[in-house]
């Protein structure tokens, strides 16, 4: 069993170093189970010369791609195309592997939960944090009448073949990961939610900062799907309410951070 870790980066040298440093905990016992694919969008900082040296010394098998792309989802598709793993997940620049991960348990979770043909991937819990605060996003079941992400994208371990056959839509700016979930359900596949934690990501991504873009892309994805009208209406209502509630939550946490509580 081989798991591909895909890291997309561009001009984020400090964030990339955090990510690479977190991979050091994959010791020699587990290195044969993982590969690392780094997709760089022609960074203009010190990323490229650094990575050219890094891949000569890293113990984990690493592939480095640096070329112009059409945005993050195009870069993610390149990472999937270069993957040799049966399974893959995205650990993008600035995101890290939790230092409390039990890799024996993680590999067992993959074996137990990804063997079914109707499973597109598994959803794990994800800690979202920064220097001031953190919270846990727990994985959850996704139904056709209540479409949502089964967890934060960095918490989904996909079957690589699913993403190879259903590439990310690079015409979307922030919701192509959500579209991949909707497409799976359209194909009568599902994501199995598992009560385990693997990754940590930085609080305050683009979907938090651009709620109207998040809302418009999400609703468009649902309305253009092949789901019946009942599922479309219930899911659209669910999305509107949840985007509104999350914005309240996000802005409250940002306010708490600003006043230093």
Q: Compute the mean pLDDT over every residue in the chain, rounded to the nearest whole number.
A: 90
Give a yes or no: residue 57 inside a domain: yes
- How far apart (Å, rounded) are the C-alpha atoms in residues 140 and 124? 9
Give mean pLDDT, residues 43-64. 95
Query: How many residues does the structure list for the chain?
Result: 261
Give mean pLDDT, residues 48-68. 94
Give a yes or no: residue 218 inside a domain: no
Tell me, what CATH number does 59's domain have? Answer: 3.90.550.10
| Residue-range definition of the domain harbouring residue 35 | 3-203
Give mean pLDDT, residues 161-179. 96
Phi then psi for residue 62, to 5 deg, are -130, 135
- How far apart (Å, rounded) are the C-alpha atoms in residues 54 and 122? 31
If we measure between CA atoms, which residue out of 180, 189, 128, 129 comes closest to residue 156?
A: 180
Give a yes or no: residue 28 inside a domain: yes
Give a yes or no: residue 259 inside a domain: no
Total number of domains in the chain: 1
Give a yes or no: residue 242 inside a domain: no
Indicate left, alpha or beta for 102 from its phi (over 0: left) and psi (-120 to 50: alpha): beta
Tell me the whole-structure pTM to 2 decimals. Answer: 0.91
- How far apart (Å, rounded) are the C-alpha atoms in residues 81 and 160? 9
The residue ranking higher by pLDDT, 216 or 128, is 216
Angle at 39 between CA 174 and CA 165, to 5 degrees: 65
- How far apart (Å, rounded) are the C-alpha atoms in residues 151 and 55? 31
Which two tokens mark 177?
């990961």
Q: Identify the residue whose tokens are 């989904």.
A: 156
- How far apart (Å, rounded) are the C-alpha atoms in residues 55 and 139? 33
SS3 93: coil
Give a yes or no: residue 235 inside a domain: no
Which two tokens mark 158?
């996909």
Statement: residue 76 has pLDDT above 70: yes
Give a yes or no: residue 199 inside a domain: yes
- pLDDT, tens digit (0-9, with 9 covering 90-100), for 121-159: 999 999 888 766 778 889 999 999 999 999 999 999 999
Give a yes or no: residue 90 inside a domain: yes
């Amino acid at each position: 069993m081989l798991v591909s870790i895909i890291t997309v980066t561009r001009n984020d040298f400090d964030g990339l170093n955090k990510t690479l440093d977190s991979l050091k905990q994959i010791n020699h016992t587990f290195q044969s189970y993982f590969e690392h694919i780094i997709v760089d969008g022609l960074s203009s900082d010190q990323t490229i010369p650094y990575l050219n040296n890094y891949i000569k010394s890293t113990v984990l098998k690493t592939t480095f791609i640096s070329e112009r792309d059409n945005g993050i989802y195009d870069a993610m598709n390149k990472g999937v195309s270069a993957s040799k793993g049966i399974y893959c997940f995205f650990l993008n620049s600035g995101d890290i592997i939790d230092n409390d991960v039990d890799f024996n348990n993680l590999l067992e979770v993959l074996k137990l939960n990804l063997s079914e043909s109707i499973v597109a991937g598994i959803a794990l819990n994800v800690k979202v944090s920064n220097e001031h605060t953190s919270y846990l996003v727990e994985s959850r079941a996704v139904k056709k009448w209540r479409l949502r992400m089964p967890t934060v994208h960095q918490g989904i371990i996909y079957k690589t073949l699913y993403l190879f056959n259903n590439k990310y839509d690079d015409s979307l700016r922030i919701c192509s990961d959500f579209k991949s979930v909707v497409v799976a359900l359209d194909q009568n596949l599902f994501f199995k939610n598992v009560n385990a934690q693997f990754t940590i990501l930085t609080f305050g991504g683009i979907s938090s900062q651009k709620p109207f873009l998040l809302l418009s892309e999400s609703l468009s994805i649902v309305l253009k799907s092949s789901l019946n009208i009942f599922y479309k209406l219930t899911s659209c209502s669910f999305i509107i309410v949840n985007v509104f509630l999350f914005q309240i939550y996000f802005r409250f946490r940002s306010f708490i951070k600003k006043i230093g509580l």
